[in-house]
């Protein structure tokens, strides 16, 4: 990971000041949100259409498509997507649907190959989406291959991520979308990690789930046995770049800096950064040389989500000790997210169905949650 001492020193100073004063970054006031924002089907349909289908989403890490012919097929919001690195080294995204009768040209998952052949009628496409073979073409009739390649989706590869819009007419400029937040993401140096493990987790509704990624208010009470052992509850630094956010937690070791001269500080040991890319991507470094990548996708109903959780290690775990450290990190974040956050989320979702609450409150000490919901409203209204 790239070193940026001045940036990290500034964050450590801010976190230490809050620690000593028993304070945290705050919003101007408490925010109120109707519960319907979490469970109304019409609102859910409009927001997912305008946000998740029209905005660029990071659907894969560049690490998942390391060489020519590498592909990843997945389905998001009912849309089958195929990402593949072509012969020219560029990653493209396509609808995973044959142009003959719509069958998927490859199964979900990932792999490497030189072409994709539809299992229904054996039409074949190359790694750049071109139709290269039509089975029985002399009996089928003349096909204009140039206009029957796989339908390409808008995509870009930047900062170690493959960004895709799920609708073909939803053009985007990734540099404009990220703005100055790209400099923040560059510090993660995503191209140079080792992909240790990846898994998909079923979760509760989109907003119930994502709220938990944006605050430290619950860390002491819910995560006392996992990440709460390392972070200070209810202490948060909040910085914003348009719709995107950086959240900084203080590690419990922050107290060691009270009596140390700044010349002796190693700030990266005492703060934990979470980069949150709107609307559904989170990077969180918890302990050691590991990074948790979370991609959250709304499910078919307001009460369901899928989270793709990727564990990155700074280097391949070549020793037994390194492998054990990576396994410990992976198991800890799985427990914290699946068994603590998402278990609580499912219980919250049950309460929503019961209809006991009309409004939710976001405290002044939850500025990132407030910012996120304001951005959801803004993009849902204008797109």
In contact, 214 and 276? CB cutoff 8 Å: yes
- Looking at CATH, the fold of the domain delimited by 57-171 is given as Rieske Iron-sulfur Protein (2.102.10)
DSSP conformational letter for 154:
P
pLDDT at 107: 96
**Stretch 295-324: mean pLDDT:** 95
pLDDT at 1: 42
Condensed to tens digits (0 to 9), the pLDDT of residues 177-194 reads 999 999 999 999 999 999
Overall pTM > 0.85 = yes
* Spatial distance between the Cα atoms of 165 and 173, rounded to a whole number of angstroms: 11
pLDDT exceeds 90 at position 355: no
pLDDT exceeds 60 at position 305: yes
Using pLDDT thresholds of 50, 70 and 90, give the confidence band for residue 2: very low
Q: Is the four-CA dihedral 4, 10, 16, 18 of positive or negative sign?
A: negative
pLDDT exceeds 60 at position 104: yes
On the CB side of 339, CA atoms within 13 Å amount to 11
Q: Concatenated DSSP letters for 2-39?
A: ---HHHHHHHHHHHHHHHHHT-----SS-EEEETHHHH
In the chain, what percentage of residues exceed pLDDT 90?
90
**Stretch 138-156: mean pLDDT:** 97
Backbone angles phi, psi at 270, to 5 degrees: -120, -5
pLDDT at 286: 58
- Three-class secondary structure of residue 322 per DSSP: helix
In the chain, list all ranges with CATH 3.90.380.10: 5-54+180-382
pLDDT at 227: 80
Using pLDDT thresholds of 50, 70 and 90, give the confidence band for residue 353: confident
pLDDT exceeds 50 at position 130: yes
Condensed to tens digits (0 to 9), the pLDDT of residues 198-254 reads 999 999 999 999 999 999 989 888 888 888 788 899 999 999 999 999 999 999 999
pLDDT at 288: 66
* Spatial distance between the Cα atoms of 341 and 322, rounded to a whole number of angstroms: 27
**Stretch 22-44: mean pLDDT:** 95
As its CATH architecture, domain 5-54+180-382 has Alpha-Beta Complex (3.90)
Q: In DSSP terms, which residues pair with 57 in a beta bridge?
A: 164
Alpha helix (H) ranges present in 136-180? 137-140, 174-178
pLDDT exceeds 70 at position 316: yes
Average pLDDT, the chain: 94
In the chain, list all ranges with CATH 2.102.10.10: 57-171
pLDDT exceeds 90 at position 134: yes
Q: Measured at the alpha carbon of residue 181, what is the angle toward residues 177 and 187, in degrees to the nearest 5?
A: 130
Cβ-proximal residues to 346 (8 Å cutoff; 6+ apart), any chain: 203, 204
Condensed to tens digits (0 to 9), the pLDDT of residues 48-93 reads 999 999 999 999 999 999 999 999 999 999 999 999 999 999 999 9
pLDDT exceeds 80 at position 357: no
């Amino acid at each position: 990971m790239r070193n940026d001492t001045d940036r990290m020193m500034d964050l450590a100073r801010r976190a230490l000041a809050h620690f000593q004063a028993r304070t945290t970054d705050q919003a101007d006031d408490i925010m109120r949100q109707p519960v319907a924002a979490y469970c109304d089907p019409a609102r859910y349909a409009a927001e997912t259409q305008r946000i998740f289908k029209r905005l660029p989403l990071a659907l894969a890490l560049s690490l998942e498509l390391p060489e020519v012919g590498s592909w990843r097929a997945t389905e998001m919001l009912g849309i089958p997507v195929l990402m593949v690195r072509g012969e020219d080294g560029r990653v493209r995204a396509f609808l995973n649907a044959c142009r003959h009768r719509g069958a998927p040209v490859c199964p979900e998952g990932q792999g490497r190959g030189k072409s994709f052949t539809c299992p229904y009628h054996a039409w074949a496409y190359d790694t750049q989406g071109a139709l290269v073979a039509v089975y029985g073409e002399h009996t089928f009739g003349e096909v204009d291959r140039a206009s029957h390649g796989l339908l390409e989706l808008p995509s870009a590869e930047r900062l170690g991520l493959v960004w895709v819009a799920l609708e073909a007419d939803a053009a985007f400029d990734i540099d404009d979308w990220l703005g100055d937040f790209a400099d923040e993401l560059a510090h993660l140096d995503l191209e140079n990690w080792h992909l240790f493990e990846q898994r998909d987790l079923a979760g509760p509704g989109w907003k119930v789930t994502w709220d938990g990624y944006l605050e430290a208010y619950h860390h002491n009470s819910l995560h006392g046995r996992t990440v709460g052992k390392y972070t200070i509850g209810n202490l948060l630094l909040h910085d914003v770049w348009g719709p995107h956010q950086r959240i900084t937690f203080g590690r419990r070791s922050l107290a060691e800096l009270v009596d140390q001269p700044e010349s002796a500080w190693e700030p990266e040991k005492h703060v934990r950064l979470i980069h949150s890319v709107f609307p559904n991507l989170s990077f969180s470094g918890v302990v050691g040389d590991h990074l948790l990548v979370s991609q959250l996708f709304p499910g078919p109903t307001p009460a369901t989500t899928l989270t793709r959780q990727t564990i990155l290690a700074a280097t391949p775990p070549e020793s037994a000790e390194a492998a054990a450290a990576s396994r410990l990190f992976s198991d800890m974040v799985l427990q914290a997210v699946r068994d603590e956050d998402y278990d609580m989320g499912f219980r919250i979702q049950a309460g929503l169905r019961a209809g006991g609450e009309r409004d939710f409150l976001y405290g002044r000490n939850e500025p990132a949650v407030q910012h996120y919901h304001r951005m959801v409203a803004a993009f849902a209204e204008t797109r």
